Copies of this chain bind each other. A is one copy, B any other.
Amino acid sequence: MKIALIGAGRIGQVHAQAIASHPEASLAAITDYHASAAEALATQYGSQALSAEAIFADDTIDAVLIASSTPTHADYLEQAARAGKAILCEKPIALDLARTRDALQVLAAHPVTCALGFNRRHDPQFAALKQALVEGRIGDLETLTIISRDPTPPPAEYVGASGGLFRDMTIHDFDMARWLLDEPITHVQAAGSCLIDPAIGKAGDVDTAMVILTTASGRLCHIGNSRRACYGYDQRIEAFGSKGMLQAQNESETRLRFTGEPGQVEEKPKWFFLERYAEAYSREIGDFVEAWQAQRAPLAGASDGLEALRLAEAAERSLKEGRRISLDHIH
């Protein structure tokens, strides 16, 4: 599968590495707003720097991986669909529902394999948790508790352009919740505060938040977010059901334990998503290649992006209005 990479920034580099390591994928071309970045990465992986136009026009290229800046995602996605190329698009497709829906319509008109970069579904531990749920290990799922904290807050200027905490950060947790709850989410309640960086508050956003989701059958889900966990990336999920509980725990570089003056000490969790989800990024490419080869749906698709965005929209409204928001009212 010949994949062209759109965007040679930090996350683009992660994908370049994953593509290069996959036995059945190759990095056919790279483009970036900064041509020099594309060239540098192309040199590193023995690929070529091309313009986006040239990529879409090149019939030997099977797929594009869209890892450019968020505002460009939807346009590239539509161009790629029209060019008949398989797509792996970093989330989000867009920060608003209308633009996202438009892109989905183009995809409907030009059906191609289209995967969305909800990388956490590919994490081995979360995947094992999902598998255990499917196998009925805990009977009927009743509640889900998702803790998701970043190690450091982004600069306030980033926050302004990010669409806010729910669209930028919680969006991953909304997707995990949807994937694991496995039935329609009907209501959203949210609370949030600015406790870490006043500049985030001035930008109109929160840096600490809690959300409750309710599903059609009454399952409940808690999401707890913080923009700053001084000890690293805190990524845990607890699924509770009629026959037991499953807990995905934080991971650290090694399991070495020291016992001494301060107590019994194990390593801190891995620092951030590049470390924690390194394996997930690799598996994400694997799923994309397989889905394209087998003409099956990838593990996360474009409509998952839309649905997660609806939840973010509902959470934002709940935070503002102090009410439980029904998903029926989010279009």
Contact = CB atoms under 8 A, between A and B. Distances in A.
Number of copies: 4
Interface in A232-261: 234, 238, 240, 242-261
Interface in A116-147: 124-125, 128-129, 132, 137-138, 140, 142-143, 145, 147
24 contacts: A21-B21, A125-B255, A125-B256, A129-B256, A132-B258, A142-B196, A142-B208, A145-B222, A191-B324, A193-B219, A195-B218, A210-B222, A222-B222, A226-B240, A228-B242, A229-B245, A245-B258, A246-B256, A248-B256, A249-B256, A250-B255, A252-B264, A263-B266, A323-B323
Contacts of A229: 240, 245
A204 to B, nearest CB: 15
Interface of A: 21, 124-125, 128-129, 132, 137-138, 140, 142-143, 145, 147, 149, 187, 189, 191-196, 208-210, 212, 214, 217-220, 222, 224, 226, 228-231, 234, 238, 240, 242-269, 322-324
A264 B261 contact: no
A256 B247 contact: yes
